[in-house]
Amino acid sequence: MVTSTTPKLDRRPSRSQDREPRRLGFGQRLGRWDVKLSPYLYISPFFILFAIVGMFPLLYTAWVSMHQWHLIGGQGEFVGMENFLHVLQQPPFWKALRNTFSIFLLSSVPQVLLAITIAAVLDANLRAKTFWRMGVLLPFVVAPVAVSLIFGKLFADQSGLINAVLGGIGIEPIRWHADVLASHVAISSMVNFRWIGYNTLIFLAAMQAVPRELYEAAILDGAGRLRQFFSVTVPMLRPTIIFVVVTSTIGGLQIFDEPRLFDQFGLGGGDRQWMTVTMYLYEIGWGSQKSFGRAAAVAWILFIIILVIGLINFSITRRIASDSAPKSRKKQKR
Amino acid sequence: MWAAAAGVTGIALLATACGSSDSGSGEPAADGDEQITLTIGTFNEFGYEELIPEYESLNPNIKIEHKKAATADEARANINTRLAAGSGLSDIEAVEVDWLPELLQYPDKFTDLTSDEVEGRWLDWKSAQATDPEGRLLGYGTDIGPEAIAYRADLLEAAGLPSDRESVAALFGGDDATWDKFFEVGKQYTAATGKPFYDSAGAIYQGMINQVEAAYEDPDTLEITAADSAEVKDIFTTVLNASTQDKLSAGFAQWSDDWQSAFQNDGFAVMLAPGWMLGVIEGNAEGVTGWDIADVFPGGGGNWGGAFLTVPTQTEHPEEAKALAAWLTAPEQQIKAFKSKGTFPSQVEALSSQDLLGQTNAFFNNAPTGEILANRAAAVTVTPFKGPNYFAVNDAMGSALTRVDVEKTDDIDTSWTKFVEAVKALG
Amino acid sequence: MSAPSIPVIQQTAGRGAARAAASRRKSKGAGSDRRPGWVTYAILTLVILISAYPLYFAFLLATSDSGTIAQNPVPSLIPRGEFFTNVERVLSADIHFWKALWNSVIVSTVTAVSVVFFSTLAGYSFAKLRFKGRGPLLVFVVATTAVPTQLGIVPLFIVMSELGWTGKLIAVIVPGMVTAFGVFWMTQYLEGALPYELIEAARVDGASMIRTFWHVALPAARPAAAMLGLFSFVGSWTNFFWPFIVLGPSNPTLPVAVQLLQATYFKDMSLIMAGVTLSVIPLVIVFIFAGRQLVAGIMQGAVKG
């Protein structure tokens, strides 16, 4: 993620590839096998494990999604794409998709902005650095289950702290559970509470890696603090930003714990105003219909949505990563 | 606790085991010389904490592992996942009455528990709930939830209403209590105080719908009839009119944080209270005085909740598990569970036991809760039919009530329309 | 194998560090490294207050009793006196608290160490080694994180019961031993932080691939590894759903045990919050002791870059 921040050392693999085989002349036959096989060996733990705990469930799910399949009753008739078509015709599915994106946007956008801002503040020659950094990360150690319990008390409609405080200064209480947007804000705030500090540290690590020469050059050009931030820091952070966006997209679109625990029923509200796609999946699989087949179809639809968005982000990451490297080199020369 | 249990088992092992070999299976399993570990999965409160060590000391070759889930929902998710995966269930799984029908759809996943020993042990309607169409008994009843009316004597008094147990029972109509009367009293209370009468429309609805024979599904065809049922719609409308137009409901979702807080803030005066609810009220209303309980229920008797012990066929020790389940659900044990956690026994014999009838509850102004609940259990006449879709339809109904009573985002008609749509989507 | 390689590597690494140190020294005088003013501290204090308050709120409820909690939506900022009573109730509740704590320590530690090791190994390979199918495989790794976990539960449970692992800690540890996030993270980091010169120098000196990894890649990965280790540790410490399903309530991890405090008809907030507080304290202690190293690790990364 700090690819572009190390212009001097950054070599595209293709360039070094020309060189490596030449050096290999020094090695023996054994070494050649070592070179050939080692990369695969090193990545194999991930793939072996994924095959068992990831691939099998995925294929199993695909198989299930094309059958009538009751959670307990098990496999029924082969129905092809019928489960997918059924799900896509259900209004609750679209509502869940809307909620998911809404909660995702309300959490990821402020999250990234705040994390960058706080990281920029932390990226100073502070006294008691450790204290501030660890302090920011503190909420991350609280389990989502506990966060939901705590925030449940804060966001309770009548007996909650926030509405009590609002009432104290003469503001109408907010209907945190009844109102669509308010419920999304409340749920997002739980997500943000846990993840802002985490992302701040990721950004901070990347900021620390920005070569100080770039700032010096900017200062020589007469750039102020704010200008430095926008014309040096932010461009240098782009790959990191996209890294954070990719990972939080994937996590955010699967959001489950926080909205499920937002009330005691776990269904997403009377009008399903905060039901997310994974909650919908859970409801038709485990709850009302126990249709494992349809739940599997929802999982695959969600998987494809995330994949498409993730791959778009990922390709942007790679493009920007390679774009910004020469750019920064140019700047440095200046 | 485990150390103690293990110690007991160890000592008992030394002092020659008393084998009770069942059904002459010929297997050494039940002969008492082989150590067997049984697992039992429950949720919430079953009151088994002290019974389990007792059974272990009675049966030295049995060691029991008690797996408790926090909520019935979690227990349900757990059981469903393990049923789907085909392994991992406990030797005994506790099942709540509302989702038992879903499981009864797959009778081959559960051991037939029919036995002469337990014949006639339970109230008829209780054992009927766990009997599949072919007459196999798939669950042993633990507790039931006969409903009475719990009320705040001080708040009723302040509204100029009678407040002692007998007068309150009479106020609601005594043996002939009706829901109309109940709502009428509510209106008097609300008119006098300007405050809501009961906690939640959902709770009142439960009380009423549990008196309907076949509310949501046709018992013969299992077809979902809820959306077309005039009776269901009528109850729905009546409850919500009383709750919102007449402002009788405090508008809480039961179990929510707001609902819990309201106990401390005089949020409402009356609650429908099955036996297990008494502990809930006592915990939430800690330090609040004035709670009492009246021996009355509108529209005849009513039952809310209750559970069963099942023995999944996944178990390796069906005989031993069955024996343990039979022991736990025997009248003597269930009376002990009632004394410890307030789970009211479903066993006929327990209902006439002096031990049970003599129970009083200090928090509820020393009300004779044993006697009141036994009367209430006897008043239950209707066994509502709950089919495989009961849980799902009832969830949709819960949401429909929440939209109007709690969240106030819909009126009665639009919420009903959404309910009909949700029910259609189940098919 | 060939011993002389190490000093060479160290020399090279030393040169890198020296160069970085020099650049830092040079930048000492620059404007951006001056001690910031009070506004910065004020902002940070506000941020920390906001992030700490919900935790303190939980602690406040844990020092109270359920009646008081219900009556006062805004608790007084001064703790009340019931904390140790409530803690005692948590410890004496039938939730296997100490076993759960121990289980959580084992699961989180093993997971964190293993994620760091395997992710660094894979990340090194993706970032710095040349092999066929590298690009597509990396894309595949990222894509795997998009699999919704809720649905994987039934098939995963089938796998675990086939292996006879249900109810055992290994069923929670193994699925988390290497994560796609970790591989992605390490790949991204090492691509920038590990100069090819170092690898080549080691290879020239005849170091085997694994030796090169051990002596060159692993040290270079340390800052990112510290973060990844922390993230993985906390991630498995706070995980609820899978441990709940596969372990069950008799051999729980901490969140499963804490959740069990709600297994009563009456949800006692002061008891539950005492449980929540107890589940957070071990991590806060880890923070206090490991915080300096972690931050130092991150700083070191900055120097290397």
What's the pLDDT score for residue B18?
Answer: 35
**Whether pLDDT at C6 is above 90:** no
CB contact under 8 A, A286 and B77: yes
d(CA B151, CA B182): 13
Contacts of A266 in chain B (CB under 8 A): 73
What pTM value is reported for the model? 0.85
- Taking the Cβ of residue A267 and every Cβ of chain B, the question of whether any pair is shorter than 8 Å is answered with yes
CB B60 within 8 A of CB B20: no
CB contact under 8 A, A292 and C294: no
Q: Give me the residue label for tokens 């069906």.
A: B318
Nearest CA-CA partner of B203 in B234, B248, B173: B248
> Using one digit for the tens of pLDDT, what is the confidence trace for A64-73?
999 999 888 8
* B331 C-beta neighbours (distance < 10 Å), count: 20
C241 and C135 in a single domain? The answer is yes
- Which range marks the domain in which residue C5 is found? 1-34
**C72: in domain:** no
How many helices (H) and strands (E) in chain A?
A: 15, 2
> Using one digit for the tens of pLDDT, what is the confidence trace for B81-140?
889 888 889 999 999 998 999 899 899 999 999 999 999 999 988 999 999 888 999 999
Contacts of B80 in chain C (CB under 8 A): none
CB contact under 8 A, A159 and B261: yes
Judged by phi (left if over 0) then psi (alpha if -120 to 50, else beta), residue A11 lies in beta
CB contact under 8 A, C158 and B85: yes
C190 and C289 in a single domain? The answer is yes
Please, which residues bridge with residue B310 across strands? Answer: B93
C163 and C246 in a single domain? The answer is yes
- Taking the Cβ of residue C83 and every Cβ of chain A, the question of whether any pair is shorter than 8 Å is answered with no
CB contact under 8 A, A178 and B106: no
**C224: in domain:** yes
Q: Which of B39, B78, B277 minimises the CB distance to C245? A: B78
What CATH number has the domain bearing residue C184?
Answer: 1.10.3720.10
Mean pLDDT of A152-170: 92
Q: Which residue of A has its CA nearest to B408?
A: A178
Q: Which residue of C has its CA nearest to B81?
A: C154
C3 and C112 in a single domain? The answer is no
Give backbone dihedrals phi and psi of A235, rounded to 5 degrees, phi first.
Answer: -60, -40
**C65: in domain:** no
How many helices (H) and strands (E) in chain C?
A: 16, 0
- Taking the Cβ of residue C37 and every Cβ of chain A, the question of whether any pair is shorter than 8 Å is answered with no
How many percent of chain B have pLDDT more than 90?
Answer: 72
d(CA A191, CA A203): 18
Q: Which of C178, C204, C304 minimises the CB distance to A46? A: C178
d(CA B173, CA B167): 10
C183 and C112 in a single domain? The answer is yes
**C123: in domain:** yes
Which chains reach chain C with 3 or more Cβ–Cβ distances below 8 angstroms?
A, B
CB contact under 8 A, A154 and C54: yes
Number of domains into which chain C is organized: 2
C133 and C263 in a single domain? The answer is yes
**Whether pLDDT at C259 is above 70:** yes
CB A142 within 8 A of CB A194: yes
Residues 6+ apart with CB under 8 A from C243: C107, C172, C252, C253, C255, C256
CB contact under 8 A, C161 and B87: yes
| B402/chain A closest Cα distance in angstroms | 5
CB A1 within 8 A of CB A206: yes
CA angle centred on B148, ends B146 and B149, rounded to 5°: 155
CB contact under 8 A, A91 and B399: no
CB C258 within 8 A of CB A145: yes
Strands B62-69 and B36-43, how do they pair? parallel
d(CA B306, CA B156): 30
CB B90 within 8 A of CB B291: no
**C66: in domain:** no
CB contact under 8 A, C23 and A211: yes
> Using one digit for the tens of pLDDT, what is the confidence trace for B151-210?
999 999 999 999 999 999 999 999 999 999 999 999 999 999 999 999 999 999 999 999
Mean pLDDT of C247-251: 78
- Taking the Cβ of residue B3 and every Cβ of chain C, the question of whether any pair is shorter than 8 Å is answered with no
Nearest CA-CA partner of A310 in A247, A252, A237: A247
Q: List the structure tokens of A41.
A: 């060996």
CB C238 within 8 A of CB A61: no
Contacts of A272 in chain B (CB under 8 A): 399
Q: Which of B71, B287, B342 minimises the CB distance to C262? A: B71
C196 and C271 in a single domain? The answer is yes
Interface test with B, best of C151, C245, C266 (most B CBs within 10 A): C266
**Whether pLDDT at A208 is above 90:** no
**C178: in domain:** yes
Mean pLDDT of C196-202: 87
Residues 6+ apart with CB under 8 A from B148: B273, B274, B293, B294, B295, B296, B297, B372, B373, B376
Interface test with A, best of B102, B401, B409 (most A CBs within 10 A): B409
What's the pLDDT score for residue A206?
Answer: 81
pLDDT-wise least confident of A289-303, A306-320, B97-111, C210-224: A306-320
**C295: in domain:** yes
| B23/chain A closest Cα distance in angstroms | 31
